[in-house]
Every structure is written in C-alpha cells, then in structure tokens.
Amino acid sequence: MQLIDTHAHLYLKQFDSERSLVVKRAVEAGISHILLPNIDENTIKPMLQFCAEFSRNCIPMMAIHPTSVRQQYRKQIEIAEEQLSKSGYCAVGETGIDLYHDKTFSKEQSIVFEKHIELADRYDLPLVIHSRNSLDEIFKILENNNCERLRGVFHCFPGNVEQAYRAIELGFMIGIGGVVTYKNSMAAKVVEEIDLQHILLETDAPYLAPVPKRGKRNESSYLVYIAERIAEIKNSDVNFVAKTTSKNAINLFKISS
C-alpha cells in the first residue's frame, strides 16, 4: 500500500528529538512521499535542511502562512518569490486567509494570498490553501482571478458538501486529514458525498492527530488511520483508497518516483 502525506510540518521543533525515526515509521507504514508546506521566512532554512536530509521521501513547498502575515508583508512576499524562482518546490503553500483568532492583518492576508495566486500561475504550480473561517473570502478571490492554470487543494477542508463542490468546480482538490476520524465530523459527510478522485490525504503533523491517536503529536505514519476511515465511509478497500488518492497527489504535484 502506497500513501502520500500531502501536508506535514515535520521540520518543526516538535520532532527535534526523533526526526529520523518519524520518517522511518512513515516509510515503514507505506508513506512514499511527504510534502512539506512552508510557514514563514524563519522556517525556510529548517524545512529545506529537512528535505535535503530525507530527499528520497520529502518535498518542500513555498509560501507565507496567513497567520504569519504582518505589516512587513511586502518583504515576506519578496522572500517567498525569490525562493520560488529556484527549482525544487512542488507547490505554492501554504497560503490563504485565516480569520479564526486574529483579524488584525486580514487585509494584508488577502493581498499576500492574491500575490501567491500570481506566483502559482507564473511558475505553473498548484496552490495549497489554508481557509480557516474564511471560505467565502477565499472563494471570492479565486472566482475573481484571471489565472487560467490555477489548481491546487483546500488543505484540511473546513466546509460542507456544497462548499466542497464549489471548490471542485474551481479546479481544486479536497484535503482530508485527521478530522475525518472525529465524531460527527463534517469532513466525513464531505467524503461520503464527493468522488474519491477529488480527495487528497494529509496529516498536518504535528497537529490534528486522527483517532486513535487524537490528543497526541501527529506524524505522517498516522495517515494510515485516515485512509482506513475513508475506506470505511466509502465502503471501499483501503488499498483502493491509497492507490486513488496517491495517484491524485502524483498528478497534482507532479511527483516523480
């Protein structure tokens, strides 16, 4: 069984004590590739060092996370743009808008997100979108953009079935993580309704660990639990779920074996 974790932050300090073991456990669990989104200008170096150390399995993305956007956002965009001008990145991510806790820089978040859309189009890369409490704002920006090659994934999709179909119509995949294993999860209803060809698997490690690991630090090997839950919801075989979602990821991110 081959699985691809399309969203994990394994370069963060939560993994400092056993970074190699975390990757080893992921590979032993059947995770062939782990895609790592950037957070801000301070995480670029550790992320790239991590991907260089585990280059057979780990591929970086580049963007500024919406909760990291500040008054100096122009400089932040310049840094991300400089990085994307180099080869080796599989996506522009993660980017988007987050209106959950702090709306101080909501205007700046929108500006940065629009710039990331331009960069994704320029470099013909998929866009990895963070959309916490901001789906309406995200949809509006995407629908008003003029980038013909725009595609990507709504990471940790927070919406309902109707919103999932709206994202799909815009050319985006639906990222499903540990939340799908939680009781009364909207993500489970989304998975039940939409076709598997629109779904990508992710952990968002170290966050949002799936049942039966909920409450613990998440890691890529736990992707198996997410695949198993999706197979249960779909009344399908877990190997079919793994094969289909891995193919989706390979096609979107242009992952080579």
Cα distance between residue 79 and residue 91, in whole Å: 15
More confident residue, 87 or 215: 215
> 175-195 burial, b for 16+ CB within 10 Å, e for fewer?
bbbbbbbeeebbbbebbeebe
Mean predicted confidence (pLDDT) in 110-120? 97
Residue closest to 198 by CA, chosen among 223, 235, 218, 169: 169
- Domains in the chain (CATH in brackets) are 3-253 (3.20.20.140)
Q: How many CA atoms lie within 13 A of 174 on its CB side?
A: 32
Residues of the chain with pLDDT > 90: what percent?
Answer: 96
Per-residue pLDDT tens over the stretch 194-223: 999 999 999 999 999 999 999 999 999 999
**What is the pLDDT of the chain when averaged over all its residues?**
97
Query: DSSP code of 10?
Result: T
Work out the pLDDT band at 159, boundaries 50, 70, 90: very high
Work out the pLDDT band at 147, boundaries 50, 70, 90: confident
pLDDT at 257 over 80: no
pLDDT at 146 over 90: no
Q: How many CA atoms lie within 13 A of 237 on its CB side?
A: 5
pLDDT at 3: 98
pLDDT at 57: 97
pLDDT at 172: 98
Name the CA dihedral angle for 112, 115, 121, 124, rounded to a multiple of 10 degrees. Answer: -60
Pairing of strands 152-154, 127-130: parallel
Work out the pLDDT band at 148, boundaries 50, 70, 90: confident
Joined tokens for residue 15: 């993994």
Work out the pLDDT band at 160, boundaries 50, 70, 90: very high
